[in-house]
Amino acid sequence: MNKYSIKKPYALFWLVIPFIVVIGILKKSQVFSLEVTDLYFELPFLQFGIFIAFVCAFLGLCYWLLRKIGLQNRLTLIHVLATLALALFLMIRFGTNKMEAIDVNVFRPTSDLRAYYEQNELAISVLVFFISAQLLFIVNIGLTLFKRNKA
């Protein structure tokens, strides 16, 4: 067994689900807000936590169903660690009070506005990395099937 391997990646995904749901419940009075050019997305944190928990459950189910084909160890390790770290980072780091998110048209001092835009850029970057990590999972499946058919 390679030292860079996870024997049961599905168990890690399923293990983190209760933590994500608990964080969502604790932050249920907050919202996850994201501004992309002229679009403004706002999602209550409890529903955002449930969505992230469903993503983790789905990925755990995929790893459980694919456990017999032997995925690439390093790609699996990178995908699992990146996905779980970014999911927990999204849940812990972000969230604003509902009134702060609603009052976007109210005049704010420049420092508050700068901090708001920096947080928004960080959230977009983390979401892009999160989606990229999911593409790595698809690449992992493709490489495994390609090597299996070649052999």
- pLDDT, tens digit (0-9, with 9 covering 90-100), for 41-76: 888 888 989 999 999 999 999 999 988 888 888 888
Q: Which residues contact 120 (CB under 8 A, 6 or more apart)?
A: 34, 35
User: What's the pLDDT at 149?
Assistant: 77
Does residue 102 register a pLDDT over 70? no
Q: Is the torsion defined by CA of 46, 95, 136, 72 positive or negative?
A: negative
Does residue 94 register a pLDDT over 80? no
Angle, to 10 degrees, between the axis of helix 73-93 and the axis of helix 110-150? 160
Least confident segment among 31-35, 51-55, 128-132, 144-148 = 31-35
pTM score: 0.80
To 5 degrees, how large is the angle CA 38–CA 44–CA 47? Answer: 120
Hey, how many other C-beta atoms are within 10 angstroms of the C-beta on 63?
A: 22
DSSP run (H or E) holding 34: strand 30-36
In terms of C-beta density within 10 A (0-12 exposed, 13-18 middle, 19 or more buried), how is residue 21 classed? middle
User: What's the pLDDT at 22?
Assistant: 92
